[in-house]
Structure 1
Amino acid sequence: MARRGPDRASFARELEPALRGRTREDRKMLFVGVLNRHMPEGREAVLVGGALVEFYTSGAYVTGDLDIIGDRDAIVPLLESAGFFKSGRTWWNTDLELVVDIAGRDLRRTETVVAVEFEGFTVPTVSLEDLIVDRLLAAKYWKSPTDWEQAVLLLTAHESRVSVGALKQKAAANDVGDSLRELTKVVGSDGPGTSPTG
């Protein structure tokens, strides 16, 4: 779909009808698609985190919020125009049943942005390989069994789509090569396994 530019009123008018009657994971993808149609060129928000896991696992993992990386100065006025209010570090819209966390401005230097085509929108996301590495980082350093389970789900569901070379390179660059080796053993055995750190 064509980019409309940073018109706050049109963002608010477009958002609600685009989300009406849609599933939880569809609503999150559509939100980012609509948001980016109203962001300045070159400053698009990138979907990361649990909402992306939810999308790639077709809802096998469910998260309550959606994390985006992007220019807070450009995003916040659009959120406010659509009735979002800030609570802590997140932005809420109870009518739209959305919680948005602007998780930062920049991606890690090793992360790659890919374009996911979704119902007429181009939604920038981190690559599947980056998403798996992110889950491995949380499993290893935060001792998070939930993130380990998400890594297992992602690799199991998308093993044929993942670039093994890129995944190994990104894991090594982020000091989770050992976790990736354990993950590939677990996925190869078709069992959920336990986190190598837990």
Structure 2
Amino acid sequence: MTSAGYRPEFEAALRLLARISVEMDAAGFRPPVLVGGGAVEVYTLGAVNTGDFDLACGRQDVLEQVMQRHGFVRPSGPGLATRGWVHPQLALGFECVADTLLDGMADRDMVQLVDLGADGSVAVIAPEDIIADRMGQYASGSAPEMLGQARALFALCESLDLDYMQRRIAEETAGSHGLQDLQDPA
């Protein structure tokens, strides 16, 4: 998978994450995996935009040290309490939200790589897993808009492993939803 057609600030953030990933890998640590809205933006080629990069990384301490070396700061002060990091030249926040992919439910072998040339590559959670995650959020009733994201991903992603995705949707929704719910009734 290559980067193509992303908005400039998103591509700049992807490239920075790729350089961070290269540095972590060179130091012997598994690089972070992009999850959440950032993964959705990758797979929809910018049709759905995000305001942050959520990352899964088993070594948050190492990730944060490398991020600091790349210019990231943790906002502080009144009204700026956050668990995340920002880079002065980027319009996107970065946050380590988990140490495993979807609480260990996602298959790490399904992770995709976005090739950013000389900057390296970025690991992105599999589209099947991000679709299942969005369906789980939708099914919980906490985020009704996630059904639209899941449907957009399903429509735009090619070569999906439908058996794996059906299983993952069932896991994320306690069996209440499946592939049939991804068909837009319009």
Same fold per superposition (TM over 0.5): yes
Partner SS state of residue 74, structure 2: strand
Q: What are structure 1's unaligned runs of at least 5 residues?
A: 1-21, 192-198
Asked if 1:122 is matched to 2:143, the reply is no
Name the CA distance, whole Å, in 1 between partners of 2:93 and 2:182: 33
Q: Which runs of 4+ in 1 moved over 6 A?
A: none
**TM-score of the superposed pair, with normalisation by structure 2:** 0.80
Asked if 1:59 is matched to 2:53, the reply is no
Partner SS state of residue 43, structure 1: coil
Q: Which fold has the larger relative contact order, with Cα–Cα distance below 8 Å and residues 6 or more apart in sequence? A: 2
- Report percent identity of matched pairs: 24
Larger Rg: 1
CA deviations 1:122-165 (Å, max 9, x no partner) are: 3212111001001111111143122111101100111x421111
Instruction: Report the CA distance between 1:109 and its aligned residue.
Output: 2.2
Q: What are structure 2's unaligned runs of at least 5 residues?
A: 1-6, 76-81
Preserved contact between residue 47 and residue 67 of structure 1 (Cα < 8 Å):
yes
Name the CA distance, whole Å, in 1 between partners of 2:139 and 2:145: 11
Count of aligned residue pairs for this structure pair: 166
User: Matches of residues 22-171 of structure 1 in structure 2 within 5 Å?
Assistant: 23-39=8-24, 40-70=27-57, 71-87=59-75, 88-107=82-101, 108-113=103-108, 114-120=111-117, 121-158=120-157, 160-171=158-169
CA deviations 1:58-81 (Å, max 9, x no partner) are: 111111110111111101112222
Residues 98 and 181 of structure 1, relative CA distance in 2, 3 Å threshold: closer
**TM-score of the superposed pair, with normalisation by structure 1:** 0.75
